[in-house]
Amino acid sequence: MRLKVAVLAGDGIGPEVTREATNILRAVAELGGHDFTFVEGLIGGVAITETGTPLPTATVDASLDSDAVLLGAVGDNKFNSLTPDKRPEAGLLQIRQALGGFANLRPSVGYKALSASSPLRPEVTEGVDILFVRELLGGLYFGAPRWWNKESNEAINTMRYTRDEVVRVARVAFELASKRRKKVTSVDKANVLEVSQLWRATVTEIAKDYPDVTLEHQLVDSMAMHIMNVPRNFDVVLTENLFGDILSDEAGVITGSLGMLPSATVGGAVNLYEPVHGSAPDIAGTGKANPLGAILTAAMVLRHSAGLEQDARAVEQAVFKVLEAGYRTADIARGGENIQLVSTQEMGKHVHQALAESIDRRQALHAV
Ligand code: NAD
């Protein structure tokens, strides 16, 4: 298997966690005999410092010429006085636009070993495995008209979707559900909003093409409660842009730390993979950054861009094992027995070791 990955490490802890994620991808390539190549690109504050712009053309070109883009994080306080279009974060919005992905995938997993890190009770979070599929290019964030009239003290945003926009994201959700626990929960506000009625009718129609997948509809307000009360009931959660933004952040509480959350944006020219967290300037350079969100993001690269499902699972299992063994970065070091505090790099090494053992075992089984 050949895979070319553009690595945009960015600012703050971005390079620290991205190094561990690419080490894991290199290990998968080496252990499985795959040909993965990596090209580096500048983005964010580091790109402004070196080139004067948060997203140089060379980075866009290298990204579009790759099979996957792995991004660390952007953001540097020293650029806070610049206007939003010149700041490091502008690079992030621009690369998302250039790649054009319309479906944002965000898993939310409840790890038994991390139950003390979540404010929810262990019996609620344990065994949770939700995959949010959030529509990313439509809805209230992009709909026109949009304005704020400061004289009349009136403002407007527009929630707008076309049938085609709903169809394409719904298909992503049903395809993914058919490889998981075969359930899609579509979230809308169809009791009030016409745009949600279109959403619901379209998703119901698309569901007919996936007879092995169960479809249920939930209203967004009650869904916000169900996610906290009975998160185990959900497999793939499909929703529009604003609802997905809010619900996927809410579900982040299940895992317990921002440093644990991966994401992928698919459907565009090239898929974009990034941990959910930012550049965390408060801990950059201290070795305290949790690399597991970035490593789990690397697992998503394997699953969604390389088609290496077994290897993706092996990485996820390695993370699971390392947590069960008690290794913790500072952000997840609450509660539990036999906890061993480790640095970013040490955490990466432990995952690497657990991964190598599991791939060795798999190869030994194949050889028998
Ligand atoms: P942040 O996610 O960087 O940090 C929030 C808190 O979580 C901090 O206390 C931080 O130390 C902690 N944290 C985050 N990731 C962690 C990890 N992997 N391990 C351990 N702890 C971790 O959010 P913020 O502080 O609001 O923003 C900092 C900068 O990052 C800003 O410039 C912001 O614009 C930018 N940002 C970038 C992205 C992105 O690149 N996708 C996302 C959010 C924020």
- CATH class for the domain made up of 119-255: alpha beta
pLDDT of residue 335: 75
What secondary structure letter does DSSP report for 77?
G
- pLDDT digits 0-9 by tens, 266-305: 999 999 999 999 999 999 999 999 999 999 999 999 999 9
Phi–psi pair at 237, nearest 5 degrees: -110, 115
3-state secondary structure of 10: strand
Spatial separation of the C-alpha atoms in residues 283 and 286, rounded to whole Å: 6
Atom of ligand 1 nearest to the CA of 277: 2
Among 46, 277, 295, name the best residue to mutate to test ligand 1's pocket (greatest count of ligand atoms within 8 A of Cβ).
277
CA atoms within 13 A on the CB side of 128: 36
> Is 189 annotated in the active site?
yes
Ligand 1 centre distance from Cα of residue 13 (Å)? 9
Distances (CA, A) of 301 to 22, 111, 202, 243: 11, 21, 29, 25
- Strands, E assignment, the chain: 2-10, 35-40, 68-73, 103-109, 129-135, 143-149, 154-158, 183-188, 214-219, 236-239, 264-266, 271-273, 327-328, 340-341
- CATH class for the domain made up of 1-104+257-368: alpha beta
> Is residue 43 within 8 Å of residue 8, measured between CB atoms?
yes
Reported residue count of the chain is 368
Ligand 1 centre distance from Cα of residue 277 (Å)? 5
Q: Classify burial at 353, counting beta carbons within 10 Å of its beta carbon; exposed 0-12, middle 13-18, buried 19 or more.
A: middle
CA atoms within 13 A on the CB side of 174: 21
> Is residue 289 within 8 Å of residue 13, measured between CB atoms?
yes
Q: How confident is the model at residue 338 (pLDDT cuts 50, 70, 90)?
A: confident
Report strand pairing: 264-266 vs 271-273.
antiparallel
> Is 249 annotated in the active site?
yes
> Is 221 annotated in the active site?
yes
Which amino acid is it at 203? V
Atom of ligand 1 nearest to the CA of 282: 11
Q: What is the mean pLDDT of the chain?
A: 96
Spatial separation of the C-alpha atoms in residues 156 and 176, rounded to whole Å: 35
Spatial separation of the C-alpha atoms in residues 159 and 117, rounded to whole Å: 36
Whose CA is closest to atom 10 on ligand 1?
Answer: 280
Residues of the chain with CATH 3.40.718.10: 1-104+257-368, 119-255
3-state secondary structure of 347: helix
User: Does the C-beta of 280 come closer than 6 Å to ligand 1?
Assistant: yes
Spatial separation of the C-alpha atoms in residues 163 and 13, rounded to whole Å: 40
User: Does the C-beta of 276 come closer than 6 Å to ligand 1?
Assistant: no
Ligand 1 centre distance from Cα of residue 279 (Å)? 5
- Strands, E assignment, 78-124: 103-109
User: Does the C-beta of 332 come closer than 6 Å to ligand 1?
Assistant: no
User: Does the C-beta of 11 come closer than 6 Å to ligand 1?
Assistant: no
Ligand 1 centre distance from Cα of residue 228 (Å)? 24
Give yes or no for residue 110 having a pLDDT over 70: yes
Give yes or no for residue 347 having a pLDDT over 90: yes
Q: How confident is the model at residue 177 (pLDDT cuts 50, 70, 90)?
A: very high
Ligand 1 centre distance from Cα of residue 284 (Å)? 10
- pLDDT digits 0-9 by tens, 208-266: 999 999 999 999 999 999 999 999 999 999 999 999 999 999 999 999 899 999 999 99
Report the number of secondary-structure helices (H) and strands (E) in the chain. Answer: 12, 14
